[in-house]
């Protein structure tokens, strides 16, 4: 079964600085997708960024980018120029032939 591991329960970053959230996953599938979701205190999950496993180029969405290392099964999220509104739970998620599997999340605090 596919598993997703987020080893950082909590992280903090100074406003305007950069932070990297870690994620590793385990799978035997060759075709899959990876996601980072954000869950603010209001609890609605919002997609931050998506990476297709067959693409070697790392995905980028404005201040958010990923470092996808397929051989290492690693998928980290980098947030640049952190803003107060980035404070939230961040979940790494995997899907291949099964519905989304989530990690336990990383709580990100942004310090003004």
Partner 1 sequence: DTGVSQDPRHKITKRGQNVTFRCDPISEHNRLYWYRQTLGQGPEFLTYFQNEAQLEKSRLLSDRFSAERPKGSFSTLEIQRTEQGDSAMYLCASSVLQGRTEAFFGQGTRLTVV
Positions in the binding site for partner 1 (CB under 8 A) = 4, 6, 32-33, 35, 37, 42-47, 50, 91, 93, 95-105
Nearest-approach distance from CB 32 to partner 1, in angstroms: 7
Tell me the C-alpha distance between 7 and 101, whole Å: 16
Side-chain-side CA neighbours of 47 within 13 Å: the count stands at: 10
The tokens describing 15, both together, are 């406003």
- Is 1 or 112 the residue whose CB approaches partner 1 more closely? 1
Nearest-approach distance from CB 97 to partner 1, in angstroms: 8
Rounded CA Rg of the chain? 13
Look-up: residue for tokens 């385990």? Answer: 26
Nearest-approach distance from CB 7 to partner 1, in angstroms: 13
Q: 4: helix, coil or strand?
A: strand
């Amino acid at each position: 079964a596919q598993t997703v591991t987020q080893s950082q329960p909590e992280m903090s970053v100074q406003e305007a600085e950069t932070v990297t959230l870690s994620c590793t996953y385990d799978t035997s599938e060759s075709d899959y997708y990876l996601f980072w979701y954000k869950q603010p205190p209001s609890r609605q999950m919002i997609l931050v960024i998506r990476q297709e496993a067959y693409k070697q180029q790392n995905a980028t969405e404005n201040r958010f980018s990923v470092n996808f290392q397929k051989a290492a099964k690693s998928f980290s999220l980098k947030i640049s120029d952190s803003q107060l509104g980035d404070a939230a739970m961040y979940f790494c998620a995997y899907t291949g032939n099964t519905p989304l599997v989530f990690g336990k999340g990383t709580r990100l605090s942004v310090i003004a």
